[in-house]
């Protein structure tokens, strides 16, 4: 089921997995995606969770992604606090009694930031390889010249800004992405689910990236937020699954996470894309946390 939720600046689009009798119930879990992706990407992981717990769950497209229509000016995207505020406003509407919050990469970090804004709306937190760095990283990121510098020089931002934006069809996207680059370890079904809302139909029959390359690049460069403070403020059960290779959750933060009540597991044979590589393991973590809270 597709969802459209109205916020102060526009609309936030999402998906909900539920039986017909559950459509009006608040979700037991709300999930947010990584930079450049969309809610539909995680269907293979999330649908089994809803079936296993027998309760509805939802996933939403963040600002600048998928079918969501909120202002996405790259020049203003110097932090992820904007995503956190969007998430908090959304939860206040769809889960006023609270819910489990989860996310991958940027979606995980943004969920963590949102939990600090509205702790009353978050019953538990499950993060998949969120972007978490030591304190000096964020100190430097707040310097006035850094956002512009990283947009032009940071490798991930540079690569995102150069992404091909328009393709003849979604099938052409699948053929171009399968087995290549960041999508090398992805199952075909998850790549197809990403293409569903990760690309938008154009009037001439072609498709274009729903997340503009310039906005994706700005999200990589825009690190003027401070998730370490949100970790220290966390008062609910937490799980964090990190990749064994190329994790964006630095290992030196594991003691802080553990002291804050977050169970950290490093999943063998996975990378930053562990929800794609081990969707069953990630689904089990979500189910366990939902049942625990």
The 3-class SS string of 152-184 reads HHCHHHHHHHCCCCEECCHHHHHHHHCCCHHHC
Q: Are 29 and 1 in contact (CB under 8 A)?
A: no
The CATH code of domain 2-292 reads: 3.40.50.1820
Q: For residue 11, what are the β-bridge partners?
A: 6, 69
Query: Residue ranges of the chain with pLDDT lower than 50?
Result: none
Count of alpha carbons within 13 angstroms of residue 267, beta-carbon side: 25
- Which pLDDT does position 20 carry in this prediction? 87
- Which pLDDT does position 92 carry in this prediction? 98
Give the pLDDT confidence of 152-172 residue by residue, as tens digits: 999 999 999 999 999 999 999
Cα–Cα–Cα angle for 64, 70, 72, nearest 5°?
45
Q: What is the C-alpha separation between 113 and 135, in angstroms, rounded?
A: 15
Give the pLDDT confidence of 233-266 residue by residue, as tens digits: 999 999 999 999 999 999 999 999 999 999 999 9
At residue 124, the 3 state secondary structure works out as strand
**CA distances, 75 to each of 72, 136, 218, 244, 250 (Å):** 9, 24, 7, 34, 28
Q: Are 276 and 158 in contact (CB under 8 A)?
A: no
User: Rounded to 5 degrees, what are φ and ψ at 195?
Assistant: -65, -25
* Residue ranges per structural domain of the chain: 2-292
pTM above 0.95, yes or no: yes
């Amino acid at each position: 089921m597709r969802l459209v939720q109205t916020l102060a600046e526009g609309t936030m689009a999402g998906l909900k997995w539920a039986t017909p009798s559950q459509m009006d119930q608040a979700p037991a879990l709300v999930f947010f995606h990584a930079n450049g992706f969309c809610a539909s990407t995680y269907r293979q992981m999330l649908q089994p969770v809803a079936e296993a717990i027998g309760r509805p769950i939802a996933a939403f497209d963040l600002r600048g992604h998928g079918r969501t229509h909120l202002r996405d000016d790259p020049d203003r995207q110097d932090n992820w606090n904007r995503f956190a505020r969007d998430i908090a406003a959304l939860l206040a509407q769809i889960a006023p009694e609270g819910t489990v919050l989860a996310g991958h990469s940027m979606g995980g970090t943004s969920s963590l930031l949102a939990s600090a804004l509205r702790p009353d709306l978050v019953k538990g937190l499950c993060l998949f390889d969120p972007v978490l760095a030591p304190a000096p990283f964020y100190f430097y990121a707040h310097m006035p010249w850094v956002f512009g510098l990283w947009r032009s020089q940071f490798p991930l931002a540079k690569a995102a800004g150069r992404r091909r934006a328009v393709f003849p069809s979604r099938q052409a996207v699948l053929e171009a992405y399968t087995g290549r680059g960041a999508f090398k370890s992805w199952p075909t079904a998850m790549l197809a689910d990403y293409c569903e809302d990760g690309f938008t139909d154009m009037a001439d029959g072609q498709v274009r990236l729903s997340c503009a390359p310039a906005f994706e690049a700005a999200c990589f460069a825009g690190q003027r937020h401070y998730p370490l403070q949100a970790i220290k403020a966390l008062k609910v059960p937490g799980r964090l699954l990190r990749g064994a290779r190329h994790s964006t959750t630095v290992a030196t933060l594991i003691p802080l996470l553990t002291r804050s009540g977050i169970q950290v597991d490093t999943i063998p044979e996975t990378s930053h894309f562990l929800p794609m590589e081990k969707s069953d393991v990630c689904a089990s973590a979500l189910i366990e946390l939902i049942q625990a809270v």
